[in-house]
Amino acid sequence: MPLALAAACDHAFVGLGLHRVEVNIRPENTASLRVVEKLGFRDEGLRLRYLHIDGDWSDHLSFALTIEDMGGSSVVERWNHWQHQSLQRHTDAGPP
């Protein structure tokens, strides 16, 4: 999922010329929260009763990236860098 979101963001910035990408995630969705963390999205706070889901208004955490946040790199490059660092941390730690 991180690579798919990274590729979609790169397309939004480069292919479509968009300036900003936002992601809104329900606070209990820890897997999705981890994805935006890995890609370096900025936390922009809580949106109370943001979307009506399953018969109730659900709060969402809001995250964003702008083209300026990227500093000339791509989101896929960020993902690759995070993966490399994560692999290095596991390699350096040695066997459990």
- Per-residue pLDDT reduced to its tens digit, 10-65: 999 999 999 999 999 999 999 999 999 989 999 999 999 999 999 999 999 999 99
Locate 19 and state its tokens.
């300036």
* Rg value, the chain, Cα: 15
Per-residue confidence (pLDDT) for residue 55, from 0 to 100: 94
- Three-state DSSP at 64 gives strand
Q: Which residues contact 69 (CB under 8 A, 6 or more apart)?
A: 40, 42
**What class does CATH assign to 2-93?**
alpha beta
Where in the chain are the domains? 2-93
Here the tokens at position 34 are: 């981890």
Single-letter code of the amino acid located at 85: Q
pLDDT of res. 10: 93
pLDDT digits (tens, 9 = 90+) for 67-84: 999 888 888 888 888 788
